[in-house]
Amino acid sequence: MKMIRAFIRPEKEQEVVLALEGAGFPSLTKMPVFGRGKQKGLQVGPVHYDELPKTLIMTVVATEDVGKVIGIIEGKAKTGFIGDGKIFVSPVDAVYTVRTGEAVL
Amino acid sequence: MKEITAIIRRDKLPETKNALDELGYPAMTIQSVDGRGKQKGAMCAEMDSEMPESFCTTVKLKPTPSTYALEHTLPKVALYVPKRMLTLIVPDDVVSKLVKSIIKVNQSGKRGDGKIFVSPIEGALRVRTGEMDGEAIS
C-alpha cells in the first residue's frame, strides 16, 4: 500500500475529490496547509506573499492503483501555471480499520 | 522506527491520549482534519446514534458552499466529517501494542471509527540536543 499526499490549489479540491470518487476512491483526508515552493512565494506588484494557502489531500491506496490516482489528481488539479502543487508517494506497512480491528484497507 | 497515523473521532481524543500515556508513549502530533471514507462523508445516524438527524447535517458535516458548486458546474458537493489525526513516531517493537491500544479505546462498532496507518520512518533528530534516530524518540 502507498500513501499519496497531494498539495493542490484549494479551489480545485472539490473537482479532484469528486473525480476520485467517480473512479472508486472515495476515502481521503484533507487539511488546509500553507507553504511555498521554488518561487519562494508570490510577488504581486510591491506585495510579496511568502506562504500560499494549499489543500493537502491524503489518501492510502493499493500499490497497483497509485498510477491511476495520481493521473486523476494531475488531470483535475492542473492549470499549467506555477503553484499547481506537488504529489508525494510514501510506503505504508499496515492499515487497520478501527471499527472491526482488521488489518485491511 | 515507524510512524503511526491514526484518524479518530474528535470526542475520543482525551481517552486515546490517556491510554497512550499509560503505555509510556505520550509524544504525539495532533491535527484537526476533515475526511471521508467509503460512505463518502454522507452518513449521520450510523456515525453517531446519539446525534439527532437534523442536528448532524448542520453541525457535523461541512458541505461546500452551493455558490461554488454552481459556478463550477459540479455534479454535487463533496461532504466531509471532522476528525482528529494523531501522528506518533515510535520504535518498531511497540507498534502492535500501541495499535491494539488505540483500536481498543476507539472501537464503538459504528462506521466512522477511523483508520490507522503504519509507515516506515528513515531517521529522526532531536533539535535541542542533536541526538539521532533511536535516541531522538526515546
Q: Is residue A101 part of a domain?
A: no
Give the burial class of B10: count Cβ atoms within 10 A of its Cβ; 0-12 exposed, 13-18 middle, 19 or more buried: exposed
Look up residue B10 and give its three cell numbers: 474528535
Which residues, listed in sequence order, are joined to residue A12 by a DSSP beta bridge? Answer: none
Give the model's pLDDT for residue B135: 85
Rounded Cα gap, residues B83 and A73, in angstroms: 23
CB contact under 8 A, B85 and A17: no
Residue of B nearest to A94 (CA): B118
- Let me know if residue A103 belongs to a domain: no
The chain-wide mean pLDDT, for chain B, equals 80
Question: What pLDDT shows up at residue B57?
Answer: 47
Burial environment of residue A63 by CB neighbours within 10 A (0 to 12, 13 to 18, 19 or more): exposed
Q: Which residues pair with A55 in a beta bridge?
A: A8, A32
A97 in any annotated domain: no
Domain count, chain A: 1
d(CA A19, CA B59): 26
| Burial tier of B70 (Cβ tally within 10 Å: 0-12, 13-18, 19+) | exposed
Chain B residue numbers with beta carbons less than 8 Å from the beta carbon of A3 are 117, 119
Closest partner CB to B35 (pick from A30, A97, A101): A30
C-alpha distance from B58 to closest chain A C-alpha (Å):
19
* pLDDT greater at residue B74 or residue A37: A37
Tell me, yes or no, whether A74 lies in a domain. yes
pLDDT per residue over A57-69, tens digit each? 999 999 999 999 9
What range defines the domain where residue A68 resides?
A: 2-91
Residue B136 phi/psi, 5° resolution?
-65, -25
The pLDDT of residue B119 is 94
pLDDT means per 10 residues in chain A (105 residues)? 93 89 90 90 89 93 94 92 92 92 82
Instruction: Specify the CATH number for the domain of residue A24.
Output: 3.30.70.120
Residue A38 lies in a domain: yes
pTM above 0.95, yes or no: no
Q: Give the pLDDT of residue B60.
A: 45
For residue A24, tell me if it sits in a domain. yes
Q: Where are the domains of chain B?
A: 2-137
* CATH number given to B2-137: 3.30.70.120
In whole angstroms, what is the distance from residue A58 CA to residue A89 CA? 10
When pLDDT is averaged across residues B77-91 and rounded to a whole number, the result is: 87
Q: Does the residue A102 lie in any domain? A: no
User: What residues contact A42, with CB distance under 8 A and at least 6 apart?
Assistant: A48, A49, A52, A83
What pLDDT, in 10s, does the model give residues B38-72?
877 655 545 555 555 555 444 444 555 655 555 56
